[in-house]
Structure 1
Amino acid sequence: MPDAQLGRSRLVAQGLVTRPFARPSDAVAALGAMQGQDLPGVLASAALRTASGGVRDVLEDLDAGALVRGYPMRGTVFLLPAVDAVWMTELCAERPIREAVARRNRQGLDDSSLEMAREIARAEMAGGPISRAQLFELWEAAGIRTTGGFGYHLVFMLIAETTLVYGPWNGTEQDLALLDQWIPDSPRLARRFDGDTVAATAELALRYFTSHGPATVRDFAWWTKLPLTAVRAAMPLIVEELETDGAAEASFWRPGLLDEVAKVGRAAAGPLLLPGFDEFVLGYQDRLFAMAAHEHVRLVPGNNGVFRRSVVAGGLVRGTWARAGTASRRRLEVEEFAPMSATRMRQLEVLFGSYPWVLP
């Protein structure tokens, strides 16, 4: 069932109400990672949690090597703090890699193709980052198939094994770069945690609960796809740093969060225009805290994994929105789950005018 109070608490925890972060890289580090297959959307998600709210800061952090995108967990691309990209991937990507290898073997893409693709990438990127389209052209010229999802698989594998990373902004997307060259100071699990996966899991869990909570251990295990046994083994290392409701399936959150929610008061219920894959919607195992089941169907038509942009108000998803018109004359289109007042629609128009678009 929708829970407006829980929704408001999570909005405050995630920084969407108070925008407490000086830089986008600070916001992403606090959350641990942000789901990033919708690149313009995740750049907006990072901007919407900062004091300036501007996308220019996000692009600066990309170009400075402070933010990257990779495949740390769930076989899904995430925006990551560069300093955490390697150890997080080593901690969480083992299972998605195994699953990808199994699919590759069924589809007839052998290890030799991956090895050749890796060698070409290393040679061609020694001089700096290049676009994914350029890399695909190089692979095709060498006789490596990239159509039918093969190119995507190769990029996934090279990123998940920490050979490549999505790095600087090239005007329309991120170029691919050699990880060791682009973010050479990103420590591996062995150096960051002395190889202790329990300590690494605890660090990531602490970030998750302090930025996403109130949330449960199952939420975090779903978010990372780490085994529940591994998550439970890590919880004793951090439980004293969190508040909890002590329920049979306990929720955890950062100390003082509920007081913070009370302090911001009505601001926590104010309207927001969020990107389609924002962590407010995708950061939890069960999304129905923020909407009814029949409304969820409208947010994810056909349940095909493609999320529409959400209108949030009162701690709940109240509808979806889109940008229509031409680059010179953009307009907001809202699909309401229930009728909204004229005042609310005017508020949404103001938010639309200040939304951090990265592309015209």
Structure 2
Amino acid sequence: MTTRDIANLRVYNQHLNYNKFKKPEEVVGYMCAMQAQEYALAKWAIGLRMLSATDKAVEKAMTTGTILRTHVLRPTWHFVLPEDIRWMLSLTAPRINAGNATMYKKHELTDAVFNKSFNVFIKNMQGGKQLTRTEIVTALHEADIATDDLRLTLLLMKAELDQLICSGARRGKQFTYALLDERAPATKAIPRDEAVARLVSRYFTSHGPATVNDFVHWSGLTVADAKTGIEINKGRLSNINVEGISYWMSADVDLSKTKKSGTYLLPVYDELIIAYKNRDAIVPVKFHDKMGAITFFPTIMVNNQVIGNWSRNIGKKNIDIELKPFDKLSKAQSEAIETAVQRFKKFNGLA
């Protein structure tokens, strides 16, 4: 097995070119968590893994709460299912809060301030009320809680991590927050090792082949956690060694079904890129000096290899796509990319 095989298997296991899903929540559930701070393109990340996807269908899932958007890993925004959000936060929040401790102290956010803000959230959101950030600022100011600088962001994130609030339905283009108890039913708490095992199993199943360091990068947990989870799941996971590097993935993968072909317009922070500490497998050696552009901008992938960046300008009746290949495109590459462009336009209802 070669490094290129690693790339083909990742594309396959992330369901970009095999057995696509029918519903947004099926994608998110399989992937366990999907990075989602660039919201419009994060919806496209879900769409890429669906048979027949539209932006409206993914937005509807957010509106109805079949998928949620919150801070749950590292920390940054992620899509996650209501039935997963509590056990995941119970596992990851302590490390995120520890990492945020210096910022909490810098902005004078004590337990007393947090508790006072939480009471404001409960008072103003209970009964199904979903508030925009502007409305939340007003409510906090009425309670004499300052929201300048990063204080608002930190207050909201702490409330998310403490399983008090999560995403609500968007109101126009504005995001809202809602009480988690009203968006996600209560679930039974599970032991920490069981939660670690669950996260490890779902990561390596959906993202494998991946290394221990890849999991640590993605989850924000420790190497010890990764090894514990792998040991618990040793019957479900298989280990392969490529060029001296140890990778883990589901033991049920049918290697004969992996494909070397496939052309995609990947969104920025797509799981195929951002979920790994080392991205060499999906980037040709000659483009390794482009890692910054590949990490922080949307990318073009042809035959399971990144070959450039792209950007879009969406109008009311059309979408302009600008291709930024790292090298001259062949005719076959250009034709394949055009098909991917049309798929993106169709997703946005402007094909």
Normalised by the length of structure 2, the TM-score is 0.90
Q: Tell which has more relative contact order, 1 or 2 (C-alpha 8 A, sep 6+).
A: 1
Gaps of 5+ in 2: none
Q: Identify the residue that residue 156 of structure 1 maps to in structure 2.
A: 157
Tell whether the 8 Å contact from 2:54 to 2:349 is kept in structure 1 after alignment. Answer: no
Is 1:62 the counterpart of 2:62 in the alignment?
A: yes
User: In the TM superposition, what is the alpha-carbon distance from 1:325 to its structure 2 partner?
Assistant: 6.4
- 1:339 is displaced (CA, Å) by 1.1
Tell me what 1:228 maps to: 223
Contact 1:40 1:358 in 2 (8 A): no
Q: Alpha carbons of 1:180 and 1:140: their partners in 2 closer, same or farther (altered >3 Å)? A: same
Q: Deviations over 1:224-276 (max 9, x none)?
A: 12121122122222121122215765211222242220xxx4xx422100110
Q: Residue type of the partner of 1:256? A: V
1:143 corresponds in structure 2 to 144
With over 3 angstroms needed to count, the CA separation of the structure-2 counterparts of 1:324 and 1:357, relative to structure 1, is same
CA drift at 1:107:
2.9
Q: Which residue of 1 aligns with 2:256?
A: 259
Which one-letter code corresponds to 2:11 in the other structure? L
**Paired AA for residue 256 in structure 2:** D
Q: Tell me how far apart the structure 2 counterparts of residues 54 and 328 of structure 1 sit (CA, whole Å).
A: 16
| C-alpha deviation, 1:358, in angstroms | 9.0
- Larger CA deviation: 127-136 vs 345-354: 345-354
Give the unaligned 5+ runs of structure 1. Answer: 301-306
Match of 1:324 in 2: 313
Q: Report the secondary structure of 1:168's partner residue.
A: coil
- Identical-residue share of aligned pairs (%): 23
Structure 1 distance, partners of 2:337, 2:134, is 37
- Partner of residue 42, structure 2: 42
Residue-by-residue CA offset, 1:177-231 (whole Å, 9 max, x unaligned):
000112124x2xxx242xx211111111111111100111221122112121122
| Corresponding residue pairs, total | 342
Alignment of 1:186-265 (within 5 A): 187=187, 191-193=188-190, 196-245=191-240, 249-254=245-250, 255-261=252-258, 265=259
Range with bigger deviation, 131-140 or 27-36 = 131-140
8 Å contact from structure 1 (residues 62, 167) kept in 2: yes
* Contact 1:66–1:82 under 8 Å retained in 2: yes
Q: Give the direction of change, closer, same or farther, for the CA distance of 1:98–1:6 in structure 2 (3 Å limit).
A: same
C-alpha separation in 2, matches of 1:170 and 1:256 = 42
Superposed displacement of residue 142, structure 1: 3.2
* Contact 2:31/2:202 (8 A) holds in 1: yes
Q: Which amino acid aligns with 1:35?
A: Q
Distance 1:249 1:89 in 2: 31
Q: CA deviation at 1:115?
A: 2.1
> How has the CA–CA distance of structure 1 residues 12 and 204 changed in structure 2, closer, same or farther, with 3 Å as cutoff?
same
* Contact 1:70–1:165 (8 Å) recurs in 2: yes
Q: Deviations over 1:150-182 (max 9, x none)?
A: 111111110011100013233325421000112
Which 10-residue stretch deviates more, 290-299 or 215-224? 290-299
RMSD of aligned residue pairs (Cα, Å): 2.3
Aligned residue type for 1:321: W
Task: Provide the C-alpha distance between the structure 2 equivalents of 1:149 and 1:293, rounded to a whole number of angstroms.
Answer: 35
Q: Which whole-Å deviations, capped at 9, do the CAs of 1:119-144 have from their partners, x for residues lacking one? A: 11111101321222221232234332
Report the CA distance shift for 1:271/1:137 in structure 2 as closer, same or farther (over 3 A): same
Alignment of 1:45-124 (within 5 A): 45-124=45-124
Which piece of structure 1 moves more, 332-341 or 103-112?
Answer: 103-112
TM-score (norm 1): 0.88
Distance verdict in 2 for CA 1:358–1:156, change over 3 Å? farther
Report the residue type matching 2:207 in the other structure: H
Q: Secondary structure at the match of 1:240?
A: coil
In 2, Cα distance between the equivalents of 1:338 and 1:157?
45
C-alpha change, 1:341 and 1:327, in structure 2 (3 Å) is farther
Cα–Cα, structure 1 residues 269 and 93, in superposed 2: closer, same or farther, change >3 Å? same
Select 1:283's aligned residue among 258, 275, 278: 275
CA distance in structure 2 between the aligned counterparts of 1:289 and 1:24, rounded to whole angstroms: 27
